Amino acid sequence: MRILGAVMATAAMAGLAGCVAEPDASGATIYADNCAACHGAGGMGDGPMAASLSVSPPDLTGLSARNGGTFPRTYVMSTIDGYTRGIHFAPDMPEFGAGDLGEVVVVENPDGTGTPIPVELIALADYLETLQR
């Protein structure tokens, strides 16, 4: 089941890591276990599996630069989850929202509704934000 809804607001996500339960693993560990093989240890798209993929993995260190200097948290989490992926995404990238992403926290949206977001997805997004150049 896909976790992220289109109504999730970036403003609601700002500073979220400080007010949710701790994930079972750090964002760096989650990244190392699930992303580094393709995106590389430093997030530059140069992982050991990158050459065997149908589409080269993107350099994740430039996400903020490609978004006017602001880390695109909602886009990143929706992409990892699989919610906002279009046909232009490589079929090699797993759709993590299709499985169980563990414990969730409900984040309030500006309209008063809540969106359940996996704690480990938040931790991963926080880690990816630290990789930005």
pLDDT tens profile 87-104: 767 788 888 888 887 899
The pLDDT value recorded for residue 20 is: 52
pLDDT digits (tens, 9 = 90+) for 120-131: 999 999 999 999
Hey, what CATH topology would domain 10-130 get? Cytochrome Bc1 Complex; Chain D, domain 2 (1.10.760)
Query: In Å, what is the CA distance from 68 to each residue of 10, 48, 55, 87?
Result: 15, 30, 25, 24
Query: In Å, what is the CA distance from 72 to each residue of 27, 28, 40, 98, 124?
Result: 17, 18, 20, 22, 13
Q: Which residues make Cβ contacts (< 8 Å) with residue 29, sequence separation at least 6?
A: none
CA pair distance 5, 127, nearest whole angstrom: 22
pTM: 0.80
pLDDT at 37 over 90: yes
Mean pLDDT of 39-47: 98
pLDDT at 18 over 70: no
Query: Of 68 and 84, which is predicted with more confidence?
Result: 68
